[in-house]
């Protein structure tokens, strides 16, 4: 069975492909008839699905996080794509190519880790340098940190995404420090390196990216703060005021209370970190949305995206030439 990617599904199209089930709910219609409400995912995105017929036969044949071979069709419901499932079958792991479900960062992870190690070794403050190296020199932590995604849906939602996002944030912060000498470079760079470490506890990604119980109850801001406090406790003589300013920058980096920050930024370094983090997240989200939109005659995406507005993304000259070449070559 050839793989149909979710991002390529069109209304009216027949579906015969393998997906992962990330949500499974047995519901009832207004008339009291049972139906299955599902969420199907692959590396290109996610789509809602419904099974109206044969529910009794299929409802106990699979579970959440199972791979399933789906037969059905694509429909549009309230301007959203939906797969109407006629039948499905649970698949064993050896029937599935895991690369169809979990993307991997394209940037070299060794190079990304090198960005962080270089920044840590250049940190002049001995307490902050010791703290950063306590994380970087921990093989168990680094295995998780270099593999984790940065998010479930929006920015850097792929294996190694957390490392890529962190390295880019650190690089931008170092540039900001060159432009604004009154920023505490060591403090800002340390906060940038540690601001999202809690995501190794917030997200699970063995088959599909999803939230852990700790992620849902606490979130990565509090988890990051806990991890930082634990490491600082093992470093004798760490100045309490420095620890407080570092923790504040990490805890406030979402910027606003309604965005999940327990506090809004109150130091220059916290303000800078918030905006740099948001910049990299939004740029990567924009790229993800455009990539998932596929090739279209229009340079505009639809409004169903994180930004809730059409995004302008014309083809590059190289894409135009590539398409033109493909049209000329006989198949």
CATH number at residue 211: 1.10.3210
Residue 306 inside a domain? The answer is no
**In a shared domain, residues 125 and 28:** no
**In a shared domain, residues 162 and 207:** yes
- Count of the separate structural domains present in the chain: 2
Exposure class string for 160-171: b at 16+ Cβ within 10 A, else e: bbbbbbbbbbbb
**In a shared domain, residues 209 and 238:** yes
Residue 138 inside a domain? The answer is yes
Which pLDDT tens digit goes with each residue over 72-95? Answer: 999 988 878 999 999 999 999 889
In whole angstroms, what is the distance from residue 84 CA to residue 70 CA? 10
Which pLDDT tens digit goes with each residue over 252-276? Answer: 999 998 888 999 999 999 999 999 9
- pLDDT confidence of residue 329: 43
Give the CATH number for residue 22: 2.40.50.140
**In a shared domain, residues 94 and 130:** no
- pLDDT confidence of residue 212: 95
**In a shared domain, residues 54 and 155:** no
Name the pLDDT band for 296 (thresholds 50, 70, 90): low
Does position 295 have pLDDT exceeding 60, yes or no? no
DSSP class of residue 23 equals E
Which pLDDT tens digit goes with each residue over 189-241? Answer: 999 999 999 999 999 998 888 899 999 999 999 999 999 999 999 999 999 99
Does position 6 have pLDDT exceeding 70, yes or no? yes
**In a shared domain, residues 130 and 209:** yes
Q: HSE (CB half, 13 Å, CA atoms) of 244? A: 5
Domain that holds residue 188: 109-287
Number of H helices, E strands in the chain: 12, 7
In whole angstroms, what is the distance from residue 184 CA to residue 323 CA? 49
Q: Which pTM was predicted?
A: 0.82
What mean pLDDT, rounded, does the chain reach? 91
Residue 310 inside a domain? The answer is no
- Among 32, 67, 98, the domain boundary falls at 98
**In a shared domain, residues 93 and 122:** no
């Amino acid at each position: 069975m050839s793989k149909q990617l979710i991002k390529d599904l069109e209304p009216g199209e027949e579906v015969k492909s393998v997906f992962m089930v990330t949500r499974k709910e047995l519901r009832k219609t207004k008339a009291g008839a049972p139906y299955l409400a599902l969420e199907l995912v692959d590396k290109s995105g996610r789509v809602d699905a419904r099974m109206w017929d044969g529910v009794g036969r299929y409802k106990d044949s699979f579970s959440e996080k199972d791979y399933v071979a789906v037969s059905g069709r694509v429909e549009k419901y309230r301007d959203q794509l939906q797969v109407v499932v006629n039948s499905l079958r649970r698949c064993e792991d050896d029937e599935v190519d895991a690369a169809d479900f979990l993307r991997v960062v394209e940037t070299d992870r060794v190079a990304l880790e090198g960005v962080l190690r270089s920044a840590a070794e250049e940190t002049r403050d001995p307490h902050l340098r010791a703290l950063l190296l306590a994380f970087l020199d921990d093989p168990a932590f680094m295995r998780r940190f270099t593999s984790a995604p940065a998010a479930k849906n929006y920015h850097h939602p792929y294996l190694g995404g957390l490392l890529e996002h962190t390295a880019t944030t650190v690089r931008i912060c170092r540039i900001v420090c060159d432009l604004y000498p009154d920023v505490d470079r060591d403090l800002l760079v340390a906060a940038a390196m540690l601001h999202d470490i809690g995501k190794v506890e917030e997200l699970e990604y063995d088959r599909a990216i999803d939230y852990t119980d700790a992620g849902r109850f606490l979130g990565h801001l509090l988890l990051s703060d806990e991890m930082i406090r634990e490491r600082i406790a093992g470093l004798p003589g760490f100045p309490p005021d420095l620890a407080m300013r570092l923790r504040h920058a990490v805890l406030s980096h979402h910027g606003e209370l309604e965005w999940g920050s327990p506090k809004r930024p109150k130091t220059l370094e916290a303000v800078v970190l918030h905006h740099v983090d948001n910049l990299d997240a939004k740029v990567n989200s924009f790229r993800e949305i455009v990539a998932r939109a596929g090739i279209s005659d229009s340079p505009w995406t639809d409004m169903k995206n994180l930004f809730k507005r059409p995004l302008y993304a014309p083809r590059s000259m190289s894409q135009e030439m590539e398409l033109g070449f493909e049209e000329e070559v006989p198949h």
